[in-house]
Amino acid sequence: MEEILSHIQEVLGVPEFLINQCTFLPDYIKEALITSVKFIPWLYFLYYGIELLERYFLKHIGLLVKLIKRFGAFFGVFISIVPECGYSVIASTFYTRRMISRGTLLAFLIACSDDALPLLFLDINKAFVIIPVIVIKIIVGIAVSFIVDLMFIFDKRITENINAINTDLNEPACCHHRIVSTEENPPYWWMHPLTHTFNMFMFTFLSLAFFNCVIKGFGSVENLSSFLMIDSPWQIVGVAVFGLIPNCAVSVLIALAYVKGIISFPAFLAGLVTTAGLGLAALYKRSQDNTDNTILTFLLLASGIITGLFIFYNMRLVEYIQGFFG
């Protein structure tokens, strides 16, 4: 077993050796490239597993509808923890078809972290916050769902036209693939994870190179984090607003900024609460009710800011959660 692990380490060390031979590259580019390349195999296996899970539910979309309608926000927060924005897109589609309530949709969006969580493993010391992040987002998602559904009267008109849902979900989504699984397109089972992995590699590399360059310009991480008000509640507000941008690269930037020590944990958490991948984009695209869309966006932003500020003034809660889960 040790011999096998040794061979694996040797193979994984080849890219680093080759990159270090490129003397024309600045050190901060080399560091970003080496870190990003090492992460590729793990990302592919992760996204392949997620693809199989997503395909299963979409092949049995009737089961997905029953689970969402029966368990609502509880099912939403747990399935949306999966590091992929597909479920937030599905939830937005269901909401525009009046199949779920406003609160259930917010539970999906709040729990979604897009691609941020796997990137915490770039720094094993930061990876330990994954459990507190997941626990807090689940609690916040469920709490906000019940509060919002008590505040607003949900339109009881229900549409369960699966063909209509399939039509919506057949539009290009993340990485320009079609969400609905079809027997005629088996290559998507391995092609989309491959495309997603490549995109994540590029996002990670470019983001790391950017941060390394900026850090070098400021002289140190401490100088940059101080400039970005890491000890101020205003950073929480700024990151929460930034998280609303409907783009997969946003979660990458927020995660890497935290890994690099540029933003605080409360700001990181606030950004992850408001980050919903392409969920908001799908909502605005398919819903013509701009007032309702604005209300949902405001509630999502308020949830992120309030969560971040609460943790900012109660950091011991994070330590308690970490200790509880060992």
pLDDT digits (tens, 9 = 90+) for 259-316: 999 999 999 999 999 998 788 888 888 888 888 899 999 999 999 999 999 999 988 8
Q: Which of 178-187, 227-236, 295-304 has the lowest mean pLDDT?
A: 178-187
- Non-local (6+) Cβ contacts of 69 within 8 A are 99, 100
Distance of CA 182 to the CA centre of its chain: 25
pLDDT of residue 244: 92
What is the predicted pLDDT for the residue at 236?
96
Mean pLDDT confidence for 29-34: 82
Confidence of residue 222 (pLDDT cuts 50, 70, 90): very high
CB 34 within 8 Å of CB 15: yes
Tell me what pLDDT residue 269 has: 95
User: In the predicted model, is pLDDT for residue 184 greater than 50?
Assistant: no
pLDDT at 177: 55
Mean pLDDT, the chain, as a whole number? 79
Mean pLDDT for the stretch of residues 2-7 = 54
Instruction: Name the more confident of 94 and 58.
Output: 94
Q: Give the CA angle between residues 250, 254, 255 to the nearest 5°.
A: 115
pLDDT at 325 over 90: no
Which one is predicted more confidently, 133 or 128?
Answer: 133
Query: pLDDT > 70: what percent of the chain?
Result: 78
7 vs 222, more confident: 222
Q: What is the pTM of this model?
A: 0.83
pLDDT at 287: 81
Q: What would the pLDDT profile of 253-268 be if each residue is shown by its tens digit?
A: 999 999 999 999 999 9
* Residue-level pLDDT at 280: 86
**Torsion angles phi and psi, residue 178, rounded to 5:** -95, 130
Is the pLDDT score of 56 beyond 60?
yes
Q: Which residues does residue 216 pair with via DSSP β-bridges, in sequence order? A: none
CB of 257 closer than 8 Å to CB of 211: yes
Q: What is the pLDDT of residue 199?
A: 83
According to the model, what pLDDT value does residue 174 have?
58
User: Does the pLDDT value for residue 60 go beyond 90?
Assistant: no
Q: Give the least confident one: 6-20, 45-59, 78-92.
A: 6-20
The Cα–Cα gap between 231 and 265 comes to: 10
Its sign, for the CA torsion 89, 91, 92, 97, is positive
